[in-house]
Amino acid sequence: MKTIRKKGTALMAFAMALSLTAPAALAQNAAWDKVIADAKNEKELVLYTALVGDPTLKAIVQGFQSKYGITVNVLEGRGSDIRERARVEQGAGRFIADVTYTSEGQARLIAREDKSYVQHEAVPNITTLKPEFAKMTSDNLFAPSMTIPYGILINASMVKPEDEPKSWADLANSKWKGKILSDDVRAVGGGYLMFFAQLNAPGLGEKYHQELAKNEPSFTRDMREAGRRVARGEYPIYVPFILTDIANLKGLPVKPIIPTEGVPFVLYGNVLMRNAPHPNAARLYIDYGMSEEAQLLWAKTGMGVVRDGLADKIPPEVRPFANAKLLGTTDPDRQNEGIALAKKIYQ
């Protein structure tokens, strides 16, 4: 009798909980349905991006247009040019852009210095983010979309299997003295990203870079050509290598390596422009960037996904890249400090 009474009480409590949450869920659904309807009435939006000619971003834009019937007008350009254009437009009160696709660090920096970006209202897909990326939204200023992972590239003809570096720490071994090509860690770019991420990583830090500096890495600022220089045999190792770029070196004697400590990464995503002329379409597009459809498009190229629960849906051939352990990324608030230290260590 007591057991039946306890079960009945539990069922009643569950029913009451449902009765309280159901109206709230329905209200949220209705509110989002209104956002979609209003977005369709706006008919278009303007997207600024520094990812010039990126085929995956184009596919995502096309997917959004097909799904919602909303035209996305894309303006591509160098990051500095996109920033200046937005700053001038905002200052003149000519509000053209609705959304900018940029890195998390740049989003925070530009929002603070230029006031071009503002927080967006909550969107449904924000709840699907992996915990590590949910912490990087800056209170809905930034909507994460994908990560660009960096690792090590070796010339497989020059480096014996038993000598292959398995970790970042391995590169400090004296046998690699004069044999490492590196993107310049003393200037903003992939090299500095690697430097800063390692600087704040357990087991690496400043001491690691002091040891690595003894190996006298050669610096370059041409990341696109660096991989081919390794393929030609100029150097047996290049760091940091954008892992997904291995597709551009197909058939050449090179091999990408994911270090055991993890990969430095750049987190990209969407931000809302201040006084966006198409606010609902912008909000809908921001949400779409975190959708499963958009995430899997990035994953097919090996880019890291920010949405939880997709690990098994990523193509096997790029799964190691997309699911790679993350080492860290940059912090724009500490950029001057970091570059000064890099210049001190690597003179």
d(CA 321, CA 247): 12
Residue with tokens 């949400």: 287
pTM exceeding 0.85: yes
Q: Homologous superfamily of 10-146+268-323 in CATH?
A: Periplasmic binding protein-like II (3.40.190.10)
The CATH number of domain 148-265+328-345, selected from 3.40.190.10, 3.20.20.30, 2.30.110.10, 3.40.50.1820: 3.40.190.10
Domain 148-265+328-345 in the same topology as domain 10-146+268-323? yes
- The string of pLDDT tens digits covering residues 126-177 is 999 999 999 999 999 999 999 999 999 999 999 999 999 999 999 999 999 9
Which range, of 9-13, 33-37, 305-309, 310-314, averages the lowest pLDDT? 9-13
How many other CB atoms sit within 10 Å of the CB of residue 33?
A: 10
For the chain, give every domain's residue range: 10-146+268-323, 148-265+328-345
Which is higher by pLDDT, 276 or 5? 276
- The string of pLDDT tens digits covering residues 201-213 is 999 999 999 999 9
